[in-house]
């Protein structure tokens, strides 16, 4: 064992840890870093060409929040209309290794959603509610180059390439936002409905499966066949289906985009929400997810009926530099339309790191969504989402300011009134996207339990601190 550790130490020492400015695949045109002090990547090279390597990534997003709670909320058993919150939204460690041009492995592990009251065990003391969350793997897959992007022998770029991989993966269908890089978001956080199975039949948007991905010149594609995680919710008597995939059918997913301007690097599945003007992008895309017999209803007592799941998306992403080059201004716009079919009137609620539970002594009307910061996330029906950001004129060699706004429109069959959600905020970038401070205010509607119409609105302010290497 000592010899193994000694060999690894010597290998790392001799090769050195390279702080690389090259964020694109070999033989792709290099982009000059937007900021002169961009930190780059951590990579250990095992040969002179850099074809054999071990690359690491580390990221952390820490949140401080001010939450207007839904009516009838208690936090830690105490009634609260307003809660000051702190927590870790994401901590990730990634490892990507290639010891052959034709074969690579990718791992990502960490924690999500640990706050002062959620993420750990139950009770108090050393293993209390908010303490000691379990680390887990988000990605763990192998990948083989069938037709590599760079020819093994000539080192020329293949416009038509194909890779196949298997494992717990994030090469998702439906939309660009369903393949989002969480360290390069335009807004402070994702809207989450971009992952239709989040923590239901997937593990933080991942499923076990086999995927194909690559390029047909300017068309970038990804398709997968997966085994969804088991769900076993029991439906109440009525027509509304719930998540129960007891028959164990496979799921199928895919997404493809046409790249009119600059091509994007896709060595991993994650697509940025903004390049801060370092690329000129215009992409249109479409995707799908389908799973037979994914849901179950009980139309009559003791009579059960299965339902298929179908999710479709179509989107567009534009990022262009604006004005004089020395000003380094840019505009980023992304818009996506989703059609979701989870069966008649299916609704799903969600509250990110929700601190609230029911106040048992509260006697006034409560929201249909529940307590804390819960909202209607998705369900059968349509969702339209648009976000836009603008990088202000250059005023520093290391700092950039990017105001942004986002709008969500949800027309869900289980509600009697369409929902309008709003986000507005700004990103302060340091060393490109290696460090970011994001401030965002979000406004959400609340629905009456009986009428299923909006009766109130609540807000939430997020201050996010991010480091990503």
Per residue in 145-184, pLDDT (tens digit) is 999 988 888 888 899 999 999 999 999 999 999 999 999 9
DSSP code of residue 431: T
- What span, in angstroms and rounded, lies between the C-alpha atoms of 229 and 225? 13
Q: What is the DSSP string of 380-422?
A: SEEEEEEEEEEEPPP--SSEEEEEEEEEEEEEETTSSS-EEEE
Q: Which one, of 184, 204, 208, lies nearest residue 194 by Cα?
A: 204
> Which residues does 29 contact at the CB level (< 8 Å), separation at least 6?
none
Per-residue tens of pLDDT for the chain, all 469 residues: 444 333 433 444 343 333 333 333 334 444 444 444 456 678 898 888 778 899 999 999 999 999 999 999 999 999 999 999 999 999 999 999 998 889 999 999 999 999 999 988 888 888 888 999 989 999 999 999 999 988 888 888 899 999 999 999 999 999 999 999 999 999 999 999 999 999 999 999 999 999 999 999 999 999 999 999 999 999 999 999 999 999 999 999 999 999 999 999 999 999 999 999 999 999 999 999 999 999 999 999 999 999 999 999 999 999 999 999 999 999 999 999 999 999 999 999 999 999 999 999 999 999 999 999 999 999 999 999 999 999 999 998 889 999 999 999 999 999 999 999 999 999 999 988 889 999 999 999 999 999 999 999 999 999 999 999 9
- Cα 70 from Cα 333, distance rounded (Å): 31
CATH architecture of the region 2-468: Beta Barrel (2.40)
- Determine contact, residues 175/313, Cβ cutoff 8 Å: yes
Cβ atoms within 10 Å of 261's Cβ, excluding its own: 14
d(CA 224, CA 44): 31
Give the end-to-end CA distance of the chain in Å, rounded to a whole number. Answer: 30
Residue 30: predicted pLDDT? 45
Distance from CA of residue 360 to its chain's centroid? 35
Contact, 256 vs 284, CB < 8 A? no
Query: What is the Cα–Cα distance from 152 to 290, expressed in whole angstroms?
Result: 36
65 Cβ contact list (under 8 Å, min separation 6): 83, 84, 85, 86, 87, 353, 460, 461, 462, 463
Ranges of each domain in the chain: 2-468
Tell how strand 454-468 and strand 53-68 pair up: antiparallel
Which among 379, 291, 313 is positioned nearest to 342, based on CA atoms? 379
pLDDT value of residue 23:
36
Q: Which two tokens stand for residue 279?
A: 């690329």
Cβ(81)–Cβ(127) below 8 Å: no
Alpha-carbon distance of 459 to 189, in angstroms, equals 15
pLDDT in tens, 191-233: 999 999 999 999 999 999 999 999 999 999 999 999 999 999 9
| Measured distance CA(242)–CA(236) in Å, rounded | 9
The whole-angstrom distance between residue 412's C-alpha and the CA centroid of its chain comes to 22
Cα 158 from chain centroid (whole Å): 29
Taking the CA of residue 176 as centre, how many other CA atoms within 13 Å lie in the half-sphere pointing to its CB?
30
Residue 384: which of 415, 350, 338 has the closest Cα? 338
Asked if residues 428 and 440 have their Cβ atoms less than 8 Å apart, the reply is no
Distance CA(386)–CA(337), nearest Å, equals 9
Distance between CA atoms of residues 382 and 414, nearest Å: 11
Pairs from 53-56 (Cβ < 8 Å, separation ≥ 24):
53/97, 53/98, 54/95, 54/96, 54/97, 55/95, 55/96, 55/97, 56/93, 56/94, 56/95
Q: What are phi and psi of 318, to 5 degrees?
A: -130, 130
What are the φ and ψ backbone dihedral angles of 298, each rounded to 5 degrees?
-130, 80
- What are residue 377's phi and psi, to 5 degrees? -85, -55
**pLDDT at 214 (0 to 100):** 97
């Amino acid at each position: 064992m000592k010899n193994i550790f000694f060999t690894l130490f010597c290998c790392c020492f001799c090769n050195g840890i390279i702080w690389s400015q090259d964020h694109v695949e070999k033989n792709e045109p290099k982009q000059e870093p937007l900021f002169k002090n961009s930190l780059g990547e951590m990579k250990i090279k095992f040969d002179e060409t850099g074809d054999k390597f071990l690359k690491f990534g580390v990221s952390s997003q820490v949140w401080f929040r001010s939450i207007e709670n839904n009516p009838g909320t208690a936090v830690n058993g105490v009634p609260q209309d307003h809660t000051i919150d702190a927590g870790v939204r994401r901590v990730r460690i990634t490892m990507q290794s290639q010891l052959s041009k034709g074969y690579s492995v990718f791992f990502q592990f960490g924690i999500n959603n640990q706050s002062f009251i959620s993420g750990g065990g139950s009770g108090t003391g050393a293993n209390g509610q908010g303490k000691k969350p379990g680390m887990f793997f988000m990605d763990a897959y192998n990948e083989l180059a069938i037709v590599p992007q760079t020819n093994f022998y000539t080192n020329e770029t293949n416009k038509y390439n194909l890779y196949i991989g298997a494992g717990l993966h994030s090469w998702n269908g439906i939309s660009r936002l369903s393949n989002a890089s969480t360290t390069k978001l335009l807004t402070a956080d994702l809207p989450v409905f971009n992952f239709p199975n989040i923590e239901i039949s997937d593990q933080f948007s991942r499923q076990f499966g086999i995927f194909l991905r690559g390029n047909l010149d300017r068309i970038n594609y990804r398709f997968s066949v997966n085994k969804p995680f088991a769900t076993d919710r029991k439906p109440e008597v009525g027509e509304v289906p719930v998540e129960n995939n007891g028959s164990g059918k496979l799921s199928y997913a895919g997404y493809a985009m046409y790249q009119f301007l600059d091509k994007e690097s896709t060595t991993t599945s994650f697509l940025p929400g903004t390049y801060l003007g370092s690329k000129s992008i215009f992409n249109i895309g479409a995707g799908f997810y389908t799973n037979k017999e994914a849901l179950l209803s009980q139309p009559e007592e003791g009579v059960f009926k299965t339902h298929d799941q179908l999710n479709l998306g179509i989107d567009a992403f534009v990022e262009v530099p604006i004005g004089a080059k020395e000003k380094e201004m840019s505009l980023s716009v992304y818009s996506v339309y989703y059609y979701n079919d989870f069966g008649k009137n299916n609704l799903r609620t969600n509250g990110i790191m929700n601190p609230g539970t029911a106040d048992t002594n509260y006697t006034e009307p409560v929201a249909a969504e529940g307590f804390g910061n819960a909202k209607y996330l998705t369900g059968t029906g349509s969702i339209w989402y648009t976000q836009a950001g603008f990088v202000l004129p250059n005023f520093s060699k290391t700092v950039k300011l990017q105001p942004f706004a986002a709008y969500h429109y949800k027309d869900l069959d289980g509600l009697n009134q369409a929902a309008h959600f709003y986000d507005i905020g700004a990103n302060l970038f340091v060393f490109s996207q290696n460090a970011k401070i994001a401030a965002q205010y979000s406004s959400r509607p609340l629905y009456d339990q009986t009428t299923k119409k909006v009766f109130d609105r609540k807000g939430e302010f997020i201050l996010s601190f991010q480091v990503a290497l």
